[in-house]
Amino acid sequence: MNKETFEVIMNYTKLVSELHSTVSDKIGTAVADLLVEPFDEYHAKALKLGKFQDDSQVIDKQGYITEEYERLSSYAKVAIIYSYDNGYSLCETTDGDLHLIPSKIISPEIKE
C-alpha cells in the first residue's frame, strides 16, 4: 500500500460518510445504510479489513509513534494492522481512525 493509494481510499471513504449523513435525514438511516453498504464493503476490500482481512499478513500488535506525524502527536497509541514492504504500516488509532505511518517511527518497530 502506498501513500497515494491510501489517501484516495480515505478521501473516497470520507465522501461516502458525508453522503450517508446527507441522505439519512431525507430517506432514513436504514435506507441510507443500504445505499452506502457496497461502498463500505469496497473500502474494507481495498484495505483488506473485516471479512477481507489477510490473516497471514496481519501484524496485530500494539505500539506508539515516536514522533509527530501528520495529525498524530508523538506517543499516540496505535494498533498495527499491516506492515508493507515500502516502509509503511497500516495502523488504527484509539479513536478508530486509520493511518498509513512510516514503520520506522512506530515502537516497537516492525521488522520484516
| Cβ–Cβ < 8 Å for 11, 95 | no
Looking only at the bridges linking them, the beta strands covering 98-102 and 61-65 are unpaired
Predicted TM-score of the model (pTM) = 0.83
Mean pLDDT by 10 residues, the chain (112 residues): 94 95 94 95 93 90 94 94 92 95 85 50
**CATH number corresponding to 61-107:** 2.30.30.40
Per-domain residue ranges of the chain: 3-52, 61-107
Give the pLDDT confidence score for residue 108 in this predicted structure.
80
